[in-house]
Amino acid sequence: MLVKDQRVNLFLLEKFLNKHQLEAKDIGQYIPSFFHFNNPDLTIDYLNEAGCEWIDLSCKEINALGYDFFLEYIHPETLSKVFPRFLKFYEKGDTSVTFCDFQRVLNPRKREYTTCLTVTKLTEDLSGFLTITQPLEKMTSLNRKITRLIEEDHYLRKNFNKFESLTKREIEIIKLLLEGFNNPQIAEQLFISRRTVEQHRKNLNAKLSISSFADLFKFGYAFDLV
């Protein structure tokens, strides 16, 4: 449940930023955990105040340390097991999924490692990635903050499992349907048969529990498919 909540939270945050044409720093102050935006080269472009206070370093200082930062602040087991999984996720460049994992991060004041849940999502324009790193004991507080920020929270949470179940092909078909293409036109666009398109549509209707174009539009709008 905690992992799912954080994946939804990150998706909602990106949607909120895009919808209101804001930058990460505009809402980072409201998030009581590490919240940062990284550039494609993995350097940190923005780290919120909560993150800076925890690490006791600024973005500039972290970037200056380079890989030495990870050696000093991230537990060796996390570096050996979690970081390679993250790199595989990052190299795929898939903006429709999130990367979730637990890692142990050093708390400099206590001089001990704290278990945190890290959730990362590549931005739609591939200009970098957004990450929330949350100590487990503060998870409830973060959920309340984000819920207040996002008006569409209830619908998105209710339907997030359906969204994640979609294949890339199904997402392509939804986007084309919402652009006004009919079955023959979709078949031509995707170089597949009309019968295949019809089958995909039947599968979508069942998977998303939709019975009208209005239902499809509401779903597509909520998840930025239109």
Q: What is the pTM of this model?
A: 0.60
193 with 108, same domain: the answer is no
Please list, in sequence order, all residues whose beta carbon lies within 8 angstroms of the beta carbon of residue 87, skipping any fewer than 6 positions away: none
DSSP result, 147-215: HHH-TTHHHHHHHHHHHHH--HHHHHHHHHHHTT--HHHHHHHHT--HHHHHHHHHHHHHHHT--SHHH
> How many domains does the chain divide into?
2
Q: In a structure prediction context, what are the per-residue pLDDT tens digits for the chain, which is 226 residues long?
A: 555 666 676 676 777 677 666 777 777 777 777 899 999 998 999 999 889 988 899 999 999 999 999 999 999 999 998 999 999 999 999 988 888 888 999 988 888 898 888 889 998 887 899 998 888 766 555 555 555 555 566 677 788 889 989 999 999 999 999 988 999 999 999 999 999 999 999 999 999 998 888 888 889 888 888 7
121 with 10, same domain: the answer is yes
Domain span at residue 52 reads 2-149
In a domain, residue 204? The reply is yes
69 with 101, same domain: the answer is yes
In a domain, residue 157? The reply is no
132 with 83, same domain: the answer is yes
Residue in this structure with the two tokens 């078909």, named with its chain if needed:
173
26 with 131, same domain: the answer is yes
Q: CA-to-CA distance for 220 and 81, rounded, in angstroms?
A: 36
Give the residue from 145, 50, 63, 53 showing the smallest Cα distance to 108: 53
Please list, in sequence order, all residues whose beta carbon lies within 8 angstroms of the beta carbon of residue 204, skipping any fewer than 6 positions away: 170, 173, 174, 210, 216
Give the residue from 100, 104, 81, 74 showing the smallest Cα distance to 89: 100
Q: CA-to-CA distance for 52 and 44, rounded, in angstroms?
A: 12
